[in-house]
Amino acid sequence: MSRRMPGDLDQRGTGRSGSGGIRRAPATAAPAAKGAAAHDVKRGVPSGAMGAMGAISGPASMLTPGPTSRPAPGPASGPASGPASGPTAGATSGPGSSPVSGPVSGPVSGPVSGPASGPASGPPVAAAPAPPPPDLDHGRLPAHIAIIMDGNGRWAQRRGLPRSAGHRAGVRPVRAVVEACGELGIPVLTLDAVSTENWKRPRLEVDLLMSLCVEVLDREVAELHAKGVRVRGIGRRDGLPTAVRDALKRAEQRTARNQGLQLVLALNYGGRQEVVDAARRLAADVQAGRLRPEDIDEDRFAAAMDTAGLPEPDLLIRCGGDMRLSNFLLWESAYSELLVTPVHWPDFGRADLLAAVAEFQRRQRRFGGLGGALGGAGDPRA
């Protein structure tokens, strides 16, 4: 039998026992929140009036890239948008070549002003969290939210700061969204931390990203553990620096038995690479006589992916305004609701996440079917 069989996931040490495998989109019409979590929402979340919703307040602002509505406090430097993150002429790093040495410091560090400037180990955010929007339907929450945390560089540029400052400032919203998802009772949150393409960046920037990963994993793990969060990594680990690999392993092991939010960190992750790796695993099983080619179907393929056992993302949020997937969760996001916000990641917060969930609940999901009652709001012919 293939070691990647659905329901056989624990053999890999990465699957969730009893999760029932990958949730599939139904072939028939689906209600708006089909596939959304039907789990119990953690109580204690006040249902009072929604606090300030930030830049995202409705579908239009979600879908239309534009300047963030949170002006930079400092002097703007250069264009507000543009190819700030492309490869530069400087030295680039290859996978695994980035040495990680202790806490983040040194030449790539720079001053960060404003509320998002705290170090990775600073006080937890949302000391006085805004209440959730009153119209949030707690019975139709996404089972899995995935976020492309983009815009760190532009956030920094707008403030006349080095890109490194944007990455440092990008740690605070990680805490904020983890906390908000935990409070709402969202089962899975996946964050796109380091992509397979990020190695094209200058060596110093790659080093900083790696150091931040270690910092987040090591310094936050106690609090994550206390909150019942379970950490899991996806991506090609053998291409990561040892320090990152080890920190990820420590966090996974320490939180392995937790039953709360599952925090999936994409590290040296690429959607195409994940598909290739899954194909290789299946091919190896075929070669070894454990699997027949004709037995390979979508479920079997999904079970060979890094994300085996996780529900597919119901909601995929991209910060920074660019409308593309950038090789993130390509297989898994086939039926995800996509939401692009112009808000740069360092400015993204609890209110933005809640607004995104509210927008998700306004969407009608059809999964290729007709959706809803004929003639009703969900009828595409209506």
Residue whose C-alpha is closest to residue 319's, from 20, 81, 52: 81
How far is Cα of residue 25 from the mean position of the Cα atoms in its chain? 20
Distance CA 163, CA 185 (A): 33
Q: Site residues for ligand FPP, window 84-113 (CB under 6 A)? A: 84-85
Both structure tokens of 73: 């406090």
Among 37, 100, 174, 304, binds ligand FPP (CB under 6 A): 174
Residue whose C-alpha is closest to residue 265's, from 190, 333, 316: 190
Smallest gap from residue 289 Cβ to ligand FPP (A): 39
Smallest gap from residue 320 Cβ to ligand FPP (A): 5
Both structure tokens of 199: 């190695």
Q: What is the residue type of 247?
A: A
Both structure tokens of 264: 């999936």
Among 132, 260, 309, 320, binds ligand FPP (CB under 6 A): 320
Residue whose C-alpha is closest to residue 121's, from 26, 188, 235, 217: 217
Smallest gap from residue 326 Cβ to ligand FPP (A): 9
Q: Which residues of 183-204 are buried (b: 16+ CB within 10 A; e: fewer)?
A: bbbbbbbbbbbbbbebbbbbbb
Rule CB under 6 A: is residue 179 a binding residue for ligand FPP?
A: no
Distance CA 66, CA 80 (A): 10
Both structure tokens of 348: 């993204």
- Whether 198 sits among the annotated catalytic residues: the reply is yes
Contact mark string toward ligand FPP, 203..232, x via CB under 6 A:
------x--xx--x----------------
Nearer to ligand FPP, 112 or 216 (CB): 216
Stretch that binds ligand FPP, among 41-49, 108-116, 128-136, 152-160 (CB under 6 A): 152-160
Rule CB under 6 A: is residue 340 a binding residue for ligand FPP?
A: no
Smallest gap from residue 98 Cβ to ligand FPP (A): 13
Rule CB under 6 A: is residue 133 a binding residue for ligand FPP?
A: no
Task: Determine the 3-state secondary structure of 112 from DSSP.
Answer: coil
Instruction: Check 198, 207, 347, 352 and give the catalytic one.
Output: 198
Nearer to ligand FPP, 191 or 329 (CB): 191
Instruction: Check 150, 192, 306, 314 and give the catalytic one.
Output: 150
Both structure tokens of 169: 């400032």
- Whether 150 sits among the annotated catalytic residues: the reply is yes
Rule CB under 6 A: is residue 235 a binding residue for ligand FPP?
A: no
Task: Determine the 3-state secondary structure of 291 from DSSP.
Answer: coil
Rule CB under 6 A: is residue 152 a binding residue for ligand FPP?
A: yes
- What is the side-by-side strand order in the sheet with 262-269? 230-234, 262-269, 188-195, 144-148, 315-318, 337-340
Rule CB under 6 A: is residue 167 a binding residue for ligand FPP?
A: yes
Residues labelled as active-site residues: 150, 198
The contact set with ligand FPP (CB under 6 A) reads 84-85, 149-154, 167, 170-171, 174, 191, 193, 198, 209, 212-213, 216, 265, 320
